[in-house]
Structure 1
């Protein structure tokens, strides 16, 4: 299936690195993570275009057959320049819809207020990764169960240990307060993953400084020419990414239904 979306192209590459199964069925792509069925964006259907109202029920049936253990529904759409209104058929069927901003950078600079108190380095060893579990658990995703979090962090660690990238953290003393991954996804491309900052540490310049440090790692050590990240256009973090040189270049369309 043709995939013009830079965000989903890198998503699929990273899914494979994390141990997920990616199956191209011609008219759609299946992403499956058997050991973590609660992970919405590890178990989803990837469609070539937004569905019409008449097509939604058919895709729901395909999802049920493909993921009999999953209680959620999740769909990505391959277009790169769509808008949330394009997902109206999904919204009418009761799914949450999202048009995220895909941001890219070919060069970066320090944020206006860098934080020089913290230590910025890759996560290494069991203690660091256990703190990553804690950082995930302190986040705002109320649907993130303990089993989901541990499976997700295990996937992050597998990607790091594959040699394709690294998860970095901002540490004050020994405490992990902000983290993010950067992984080589395609030739010349590297994709940011899961930018997180502990609620108690926000507004201190940690995330912006960490994005800048990790971006330099991407250019200098991963050999990337373009860095890619996906951001909620209505969430304040998007200003952090813009402050170090990222610009919005595409839109990523997704629809999901949480378990009732």
Structure 2
């Protein structure tokens, strides 16, 4: 049983997407055989923050559970504060991004001040899934820290296939904002995690369509959709505290609730 709300929803959604979740005495292992390059579909969840000197032990455990993986990703299953001091220094020195993301919650959302009334909002169907892939590729290409295009396309296609299967099974939906020509300008997923909790996924806006109020409008619309179609009582979304998205989420009714600790090392060249 996870204790972090962020990881409770992460693990629940991975299960819906077909990932394998194995609870061991010292950790929880998440595996996504259908998408091996999905870092947060193939990770270890620690029961507590690592102590000084724990890094070699955890890396050995990761190699044992994910022997083919080029990445290294660990979650910490306690809500808390960011790792600091010698522990954080040790992991950073080994090439890890030591993150402390904000988990925000809301009982319901409110319309943003900049409500977009021009875009068409809908649950993805049929050819919309190809448009969603094009959106994700455009966002990745515009990101200075984005991933290699060919490998990212494979990952994104597999990830959307998992979302599509979860949507078909009634667990939630991917919603998009479209222009009059059918181009997908913004998109996100929202899925039921159980216990009346729904989690947002992958809020993205096309680089050429930003500053139009699309993301805030879609986040609000998806929250109302989840309340109606999933019976959601608590909406959960996760944001980088140093990125503008957290302010956007707070503007539509979300409140910071806890900190989600993550340790992530990209595949080494």
- TM-score normalized by the length of structure 2: 0.93
Q: What corresponds to 1:142 in structure 2? A: 147
Deviation of the 1:91 alpha carbon:
2.1
In structure 2, stretches of 5+ residues that fail to align are none
Deviations 1:17-59 (A, max 9, x none): 0011111012100000112211110100000111123211011
Q: How does 1:103-252 map to 2 (within 5 A)?
A: 103-125=104-126, 127-139=127-139, 140=143, 141-143=146-148, 145-173=152-180, 174-252=182-260
Distance 2:244 2:264 in 1: 23
User: Using the alignment, how far apart are the partners of 1:148 and 1:109 within structure 2?
Assistant: 33
Q: Secondary structure at the match of 2:53?
A: helix
Q: How does 1:81-92 map to 2 (within 5 A)?
A: 81-85=80-84, 88=88, 89-92=90-93
For the residue of structure 2 that corresponds to 1:138, the secondary structure is helix
1:20 corresponds to: 19
Match of 1:255 in 2: 263
The Cα shift of 1:69 comes to 1.1
Gaps of 5+ in 1: none
Distance in 2 separating the partners of 1:234 and 1:83: 13
The whole-number CA distance in structure 2 between the counterparts of 1:56 and 1:84 is 13
RMSD over aligned Cα atoms: 1.3
Q: Helix, strand or coil: the match of 1:209?
A: helix
Decide whether the 8 Å contact of 1:190 with 1:218 is kept in 2: yes
In 1, Cα distance between equivalents of 2:229 and 2:42:
31
For the 8 Å contact 1:53–1:90, the answer to whether it is kept is no
Q: Distance in 2 between matches of 1:68 and 1:111?
A: 45
4+ aligned runs moved over 3 Å, structure 1: none
Tell me the matched-pair count. 258
Supply the distance in 1 between the matched residues of 2:183 and 2:152 (Cα, whole angstroms).
23
Listed one character per residue, the Cα deviations across residues 75-117 of structure 1 (whole Å, up to 9, x for unaligned) are 0000112214275142233211110000100122110110000
**146-155 or 7-16, larger mean C-alpha shift:** 146-155
Displacement of 1:167:
0.5
Question: In the aligned structure 1, how far is the partner of 2:122 from the partner of 2:219?
Answer: 12
Greater CA drift, 78-87 or 134-143: 78-87
Moved more, 197-206 or 147-156: 147-156
Using the TM superposition, give the Cα deviation of residue 157 of structure 1 relative to its aligned residue in structure 2, in angstroms: 0.9
Q: CA separation in 1, counterparts of 2:37 and 2:198? A: 26
Mapped pair 1:11 → 2:10: yes
